[in-house]
Amino acid sequence: MRKFIASCLGCLLVATPAFAGREPVPPMALTEHDRVVAGGRAVLVELPQYEIGTDVDVGRVVSDSSQYGGGFLGALILDASDDKRERLTSMEMDKATARVAPLRQAIRDFDFNALAVASTRSALSHLDWFGAQNPEWIKSPSDNDRRALISGAGTKQLATISYHYLLSPDFTQIRVVADVTLWQPAAARAGGPQPALTAIYGHRITAITELRKRSYEPAENVALWSADGGKLARASITAALARLEQLIPFALGLNQADVDALARKKADKKADKIFAAGFYGPPVTAFPSIAGEKVIWSQGLIEVMPTP
C-alpha cells in the first residue's frame, strides 16, 4: 500500500526538484548580483508526465504549504503513519484513475511536451537580461544530467522549468504548474567529488482553467472536458501555457521587496484577499491580468481563468 501511494505521489511531484528534500528552500527573488550571469544560462525543460494527472482530497487537511490546497500531498505529509488515511487515499486514487480514463483517451495525441518547450522559449525571450540559451528537454533528469548540461553549455547557471498538469479533485479545473528553479554548482573542494548543484531561486507558478458550467458529479465534469475529442481540455491546457509565458517572466522580475510585500498582504487579516479555485490570497495588481481572470499570491503566483 505504501509503495502504491509513494508511486502516485512521485507522478505528481517529480517535476518539483527544487522543493523536494532540499534545505534551505531557495528564495523567490533573485539578488541583483545573481540576475545577470556572464555567458547566460543553460535551460532545461523537465516533462515527467506521460498523461494528464489527478489529485484527490481525503477529508479536511490543514496545509497551507501545499500549492494544491491540501489534498493528496497534504494528506501524506500530515498523516503518513495513519493506515486508514492511506487506505482511503488509495481508494480515491483508484476512483480518480477510472474517472479520468475517458479524458486521457480523448487527448492521448495531445503534444503537451512540444507546447511546454515552446512556451518556455517564448517566456524567456521576454527577458534580455536572463541570457537564456535554447532550451533542451528531458523527462526526469538527475543531478548528473543537470551538471552535464551546465558543463556542456559552458555556463555558470542552469535554469530548469518543470511542468506538470492535472485535474483538481472535483474535476472542475485543469491546473498547469511550472516550477522555475535556478541552479549553480556549489564551491568545489580540491581533490573532492564533482560539486553538487545549489538552488539559488525557486518559484512555483500555477495557471488554472475552470469549467464555466460545473457538476457535482465528477464523471459529468470529465465528460465536458472529454467531449469532441477533448476539445475543451486541449484549449484550456494551451491557454494555461500561454498565460505561463507571461507569468514566468513576471515572476523572475520580482525583487525581494516585491515578494516581501505580497507575503505581508497574505498574512495581513485586513488586506484585500481573493478566493479563487480553492486558493486564497491577495490580488497581484502589478500583473497585467485579462478581464475575467484573477491573479493571486498564495505561496507563489496563481492565475485562475474560465475555460476558453
- Pairing mode, strands 173-185 and 157-167: antiparallel
* Averaged pLDDT for residues 171-181: 96
Percent of all residues in the chain with a pLDDT value above 90, rounded to a whole number: 61
Residue 86 CB neighbours (<10 A): 19
Higher-confidence position of 275 and 192: 275
Q: Strand, helix or coil at 159?
A: strand
* Averaged pLDDT for residues 139-159: 87
Across 90-99, 153-162, 207-216, 275-284, least confident range: 90-99
The gap between the terminal CA atoms of the chain, to the nearest Å, is: 39
| Confidence grade of residue 68 (pLDDT, cut at 50, 70, 90) | very low
Q: Strand, helix or coil at 60?
A: coil
Higher-confidence position of 244 and 73: 244
- Report how far residue 134's alpha carbon sits from residue 124's, in angstroms, rounded to the nearest whole number: 10
Higher-confidence position of 126 and 141: 126
Q: Which residues contact 62 (CB under 8 A, 6 or more apart)?
A: 70, 74, 78
DSSP result, 63-115: -TT-TTSSHHHHHHHHSTT-HHHHHHHHHHHHHHHHHHHHHHHHTTT--HHHH
DSSP 225: H
State yes or no: pLDDT of 6 exceeds 80: no
DSSP lists the bridge partners of residue 157 as 41
> pLDDT at position 17, please?
42
Which of the given ranges, 9-23, 26-40, 56-70, 88-102, has the highest pLDDT on average? 26-40
Average pLDDT, the chain: 83
| Confidence grade of residue 79 (pLDDT, cut at 50, 70, 90) | very low
- Report how far residue 152's alpha carbon sits from residue 292's, in angstroms, rounded to the nearest whole number: 44
| Confidence grade of residue 194 (pLDDT, cut at 50, 70, 90) | low
State yes or no: pLDDT of 301 exceeds 60: yes
Give the tens place of pLDDT for each residue, 259-291.
999 999 999 999 999 999 999 999 999 998 787
| Confidence grade of residue 12 (pLDDT, cut at 50, 70, 90) | very low
Higher-confidence position of 304 and 16: 304
Query: pTM for the whole thing?
Result: 0.82
> pLDDT at position 290, please?
81
C-alpha distances in angstroms, 55 versus 94, 104, 107? 11, 15, 18
Q: What ranges do the domains of the chain cover? A: 16-52+107-306
State yes or no: pLDDT of 71 exceeds 50: no
State yes or no: pLDDT of 196 exceeds 90: no
* Averaged pLDDT for residues 100-121: 97
Give the tens place of pLDDT for each residue, 14-39.
334 444 444 568 999 998 888 898 88
Instruction: Identify the CA nearest to 30 among candidates 298, 282, 258.
Output: 258
State yes or no: pLDDT of 240 exceeds 90: yes
- Report how far residue 120's alpha carbon sits from residue 242's, in angstroms, rounded to the nearest whole number: 10
Q: Which residues contact 86 (CB under 8 A, 6 or more apart)?
A: 1, 2, 5, 79
> pLDDT at position 60, please?
43
Contact, 232 vs 221, CB < 8 A?
no
> pLDDT at position 97, please?
87
